[in-house]
């Protein structure tokens, strides 16, 4: 019995949406030279706040907004600590993940198993019934389309606008950007909040659309995958999209291969995205001249304004 490629593609798009959202947000953060390892914590907080808000108000839209807002609020803690109080970004980011996981468990007490109102799809059901194209292009929730639009928007802003130029300048050399009169800290804070909102939205998508339930720690490492994805994509927006669909696609495909009774080495398939990420990291660190791989030069460095 074979596998229907259409259902695999439709499934991988949905499965990839949370990590795509989190990764594109984190990419912008890293483009300004800040490494926020708290993606997992922001996602899981977005998941619980999105779910709780949807249950209480009956509106998935408000749920998504709450997810974004809570991710943003959490990222703001990280921003204040690292940008104004100059704390270590790696340690602060890790702490944010631990904090987010604990906070979400606390906020979600009593909510597991609550039922959600259905999320309306933007396209009528009839369009999703069109053979081949229907399930792939028209069968998703609005947030999935938004995630792709967001990738395009980030690509455009970073590559073709003055704002993008400033963001990149801050990430490549914060001292030079500062000397030119750009508000390094303000720009970084805004990027951090954008990243938090994206991660929160990704988490809310997971709880409201994908799983339609809240369970403790439900992101189960998706935030870490998003972080790996940014490196994998070498900080390029369309490669983030490609990478997310690849990561999601491998999961969707290996489960379907199993369901079809085809015996495959599942472990090898499951670990392949991580192996590729490690390879990218090795190549990156092996040779200075490979700066073409695009890591922002000031990534993770503390900025202290002088003069």
Exposure class string for 265-295: b at 16+ Cβ within 10 A, else e: eeeeeeeebeeebeebeeebeeeeeeeebeb
Shortest gap between Cβ of 40 and another protein (angstroms)? 6
209-268: contacts with another protein (CB under 8 A) = 210-213, 215-218, 220-222, 224, 251-252, 255-256, 258-261, 263, 265-267
Q: Is 206 in the site for another protein (CB under 8 A)?
A: yes
Nearer to another protein, 28 or 218 (CB): 218
Q: For CA atoms 196, 199, 201, 203, give the dihedral sign.
A: negative
Binding segment for another protein (CB under 8 A), chosen from 147-155, 208-216, 229-237, 272-280, is 208-216
DSSP state of 117: P
Does residue number 99 form part of the binding site for another protein (CB under 8 A)?
Answer: yes
Smallest distance from another protein to CB 47, Å = 10
Residue 120 binds to another protein (criterion: CB under 8 A):
no
Give the residue from 232, 243, 242, 206 showing the smallest Cα distance to 221: 206
Among 109, 120, 126, 292, binds another protein (CB under 8 A): 109
Which stretch, 24-32, 52-60, 97-105, 273-281, contacts another protein (CB under 8 A)? 97-105
Asked whether position 140 contacts another protein by CB under 8 A, the answer is no
**CB 165 to another protein: min, Å:** 37
Mind giving me the DSSP string for 129-183? Answer: TSTTHIIIIISS-HHHHHHHHHHHHHHHHHHHSHHHHHHHHHHH-HHHHHHTT--
Interacting stretch for another protein, rule CB under 8 A, among 171-179, 196-204, 207-215, 272-280? 207-215
Which residue's CB is nearer to another protein, number 109 or number 126? 109
Q: How far is the CB of 175 from another protein (least distance, A)?
A: 35
The answer to the question of residue 105 lying near another protein (CB under 8 A) is: yes
* CA–CA distance, 146 with 159 (Å, rounded to integer): 20
Helix (H, G, I), strand (E, B), or coil: what is residue 213?
Answer: coil
What's the closest the beta carbon of residue 297 comes to another protein, in angstroms? 30
Q: Are the CB atoms for 138 and 231 separated by under 8 Å?
A: no
Query: Nearest 5 degrees, angle CA 266-CA 268-CA 272?
Result: 120
- Minimum distance from residue 250 beta carbon to another protein (Å): 11
Nearer to another protein, 90 or 266 (CB): 266
Give the C-alpha separation, 33 to 89, whole Å: 11
Task: Indicate whether 102 belongs to the interface with another protein (CB under 8 A).
Answer: yes
* Long-range CB contacts for residues 162-171, cutoff 8 Å, separation at least 24: 167/28, 167/31, 167/32, 167/191, 168/31, 168/296, 170/32, 170/33, 170/298, 171/30, 171/31, 171/32, 171/33, 171/296, 171/297, 171/298, 171/299
- Residue ranges that bind another protein, judged by CB under 8 A: 1, 3-4, 7, 11, 15, 18, 40, 97-99, 101-102, 105, 108-109, 112-113, 115, 206, 210-213, 215-218, 220-222, 224, 251-252, 255-256, 258-261, 263, 265-267, 270
């Amino acid at each position: 019995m074979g596998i229907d490629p259409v259902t695999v593609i439709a499934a991988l798009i949905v499965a990839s949406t949370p990590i795509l959202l989190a990764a594109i947000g984190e990419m912008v953060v890293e483009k300004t030279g800040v490494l926020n390892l708290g993606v997992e914590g922001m996602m899981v907080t977005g998941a619980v706040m999105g779910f709780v808000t949807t249950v209480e108000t009956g509106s998935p839209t408000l749920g998504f907004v709450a997810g974004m807002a809570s991710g943003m609020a959490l990222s703001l803690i990280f921003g204040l600590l690292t940008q104004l109080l100059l704390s270590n970004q790696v340690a602060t980011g890790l702490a944010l993940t631990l904090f987010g996981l604990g906070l979400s468990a606390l906020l979600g007490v009593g909510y597991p198993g609550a039922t959600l109102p259905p999320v309306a799809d933007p396209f009528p059901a009839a369009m999703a019934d069109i053979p081949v194209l229907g399930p792939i292009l028209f069968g998703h929730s609005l947030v999935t389309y938004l995630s792709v639009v967001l990738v395009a928007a980030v690509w455009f802003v970073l590559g073709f606008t003055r704002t993008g130029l400033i963001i990149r300048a801050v990430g490549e050399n914060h001292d030079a950007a500062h000397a030119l009169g750009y508000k390094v800290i303000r720009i970084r804070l805004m990027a951090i909040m954008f990243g938090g909102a994206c991660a929160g939205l990704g988490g809310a998508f997971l709880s409201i659309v994908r799983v339609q339930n809240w369970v403790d720690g439900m992101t189960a490492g998706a935030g870490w995958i998003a972080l790996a994805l940014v490196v994998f994509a070498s900080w390029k927006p369309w490669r983030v999209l490609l990478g997310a669909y690849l990561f999601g696609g491998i999961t969707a495909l290996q489960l379907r291969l199993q369901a079809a009774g085809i015996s495959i080495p599942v472990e090898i398939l499951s670990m392949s995205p991580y192996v590729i990420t490690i390879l990218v990291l090795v190549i990156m660190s092996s040779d200075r001249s490979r700066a073409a791989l695009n890591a922002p030069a000031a990534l993770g460095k503390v900025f202290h304004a002088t003069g």
